[in-house]
Chain A
Amino acid sequence: MSTIDQTILWTVIIGLAIGSFGLRFAFIGLMANRTMPTWLMRHLRYTAVAIIPALVTPLVAWPTPTDGVTSLPHLLAALVTLAAGYFSKNVLVAMACGGAALAGLLFLFG
Chain B
Amino acid sequence: MPFTTTKSAFWKGFRDSAPFILVSGPFGLLFGVLAAEAGLIVPEAFAFSMAVFAGSAQFTALQLMQENAPVFIVLISALAVNLRVAMYSASLTPYLGSAPLWQRALAAYLTVDQAYALSIVQFESEPKMTVPQRMAYFFGTNGLVAPVWMIATVTGVMVGSQIPASWGLDFVLPLAFLAMIGPMLRTAAHLAACFAAIVTALFAVVLPYNLGLIVAGLVGMMVGAQVELWLERRKLATEAVQ
Interface residues of A (CB under 8 A from B): 1-4, 8-9, 11-17, 19-21, 23-29, 31-33, 35-36, 39, 41-65, 74, 77-78, 81-92, 94-95, 98-99, 102
Contacts and interface: CB of A to CB of B under 8 A. Distances in A.
A17 B52 contact: yes
B220 A46 contact: yes
B176 A95 contact: yes
5 contacts: A23-B83, A25-B105, A47-B217, A54-B217, A74-B171
Given A4-B65, A49-B190, A94 B182 contact: yes
Contact of B221 (A16, A25, A46, A87): A46
Contacts of A12: 61, 65, 71, 74-75, 78
B96 interface: yes
A53 B180 contact: no
B1 interface: no
A42 to B, nearest CB: 4
Most buried by A among B63, B75, B212, B222: B75
Q: Is the interface of B mostly helix, strand, loop or mixed?
A: helix
Given A4-B38, A94-B179, A45 B170 contact: no
Interface stretch (B4-12, B121-129, B193-201): B193-201
Most buried by B among A25, A43, A49: A49
Q: Is the interface of A mostly helix, strand, loop or mixed?
A: helix
Interface in B54-102: 54, 56-58, 60-61, 63-66, 68, 71, 74-75, 77-90, 92-94, 96-97, 101
A52 B56 contact: yes
